[in-house]
Amino acid sequence: MPSGQLRFDDDVVIVTGAGRGLGRSHAQQFAARGARVVLNDIDLDVAKEAVAEIVAAGGTAVADDNNIATEEGAAELVKHALDEFGTLTVVVNNAGIINYHKLEDITPQLWSDMVSVTLNGTYFVTRAAWPTFLANDYGRVVNTTSNAGFAGNETLVHYGAAKLGIAGFTKALSQEVAGTGIHVNAIAPMAVTRMNRDAFFGGKESASDDWRDDLKSGRVPMGPPSAVSPTVLWLAHRDTQVNGDVFSTSSGKVSRVGFIVGEGYFNPDYTPEDLRDNVDAVRSLDNYLDPVRGTGDELALIPPLFQQ
């Protein structure tokens, strides 16, 4: 079994939304292990502050404030990485926004803004990096979805929709690169950040020297970004062969998220009444299928059912 520290000395990493929170932590941990990092944030001042911290610690990093919610901005970000460091090996799509509204209060503009930054930004940056990855037959993409996408959360309809879209993007794209040196995965992180602290606990941050104490006492609901970043680094490393997975990661717990299909109820001549009368079988997740190779996994089960 491999041993030793996972290093990134030959890697150039783009982290979007890297000025604060999760993205800043990801960038710091990449740089501490030898990566050259491009910290992208729409707020250039905070990106520069984060870069200064990395450089002061002996790392290599540059700031970038291109708007990844546009095709042009994403292309300029990738160009910046290539111009600065000559190559690109890792993209961490972390940028996103969050706001809390019930459906009736989500205006078309709020919906559009959410999708533009969170989902479209992931697409634009990945697509801009893609020619480099294809030419090198190597690359790592780590996207950021959310438990709010696949588990749901009231007042986060727009956020959940965009985040679940990222999960679908991850699963589909990973199949396009199967068997190559390009791997695409996603995390569903939960951490105390500037974006969510007001909603979760009145703006309070961990007050003790060890966040574990505040988590145990119930003062905070989850750990800091630094407890999430190791999952990102693991998925971004060239020795990691995982592809097409989503991992929930928070407070030291990391676990694979599955999108499963139950055994269900089968009757080629079924009626609405049949579903009413067999609702338990329809809803059951016993004997489930995990369609890791795509929709074909489920479709392959249909012909044998006709032979029973």
Catalytic residue among 100, 123, 159, 288: 159
Place of tokens 């006492």: 217
Specify the amino acid at residue 159.
Y
Would you state the structure tokens that stand for residue 128, as one six-digit string?
């801009």
Instruction: Determine how many CB atoms are found less than 10 A away from the CB of residue 222.
Output: 20
Q: Of 284, 295, 261, 78, nearest to 168 (Cα)?
A: 295
Residue 162: phi and psi, rounded to 5, are -65, -40
Pairing of strands 60-64, 36-40: parallel
Q: Of 167, 222, 216, nearest to 196 (Cα)?
A: 222
Specify the amino acid at residue 55.
V
Catalytic residue flag (residue 159): yes
Instruction: Give how far the C-alpha of residue 99 lies from the chain's centroid of Cα atoms, to the nearest Å.
Output: 18
Cβ–Cβ under 8 Å, residues 246 and 290:
no
Torsion sign (Cα): 102, 107, 110, 112: positive
Q: Which residues are catalytic?
A: 159
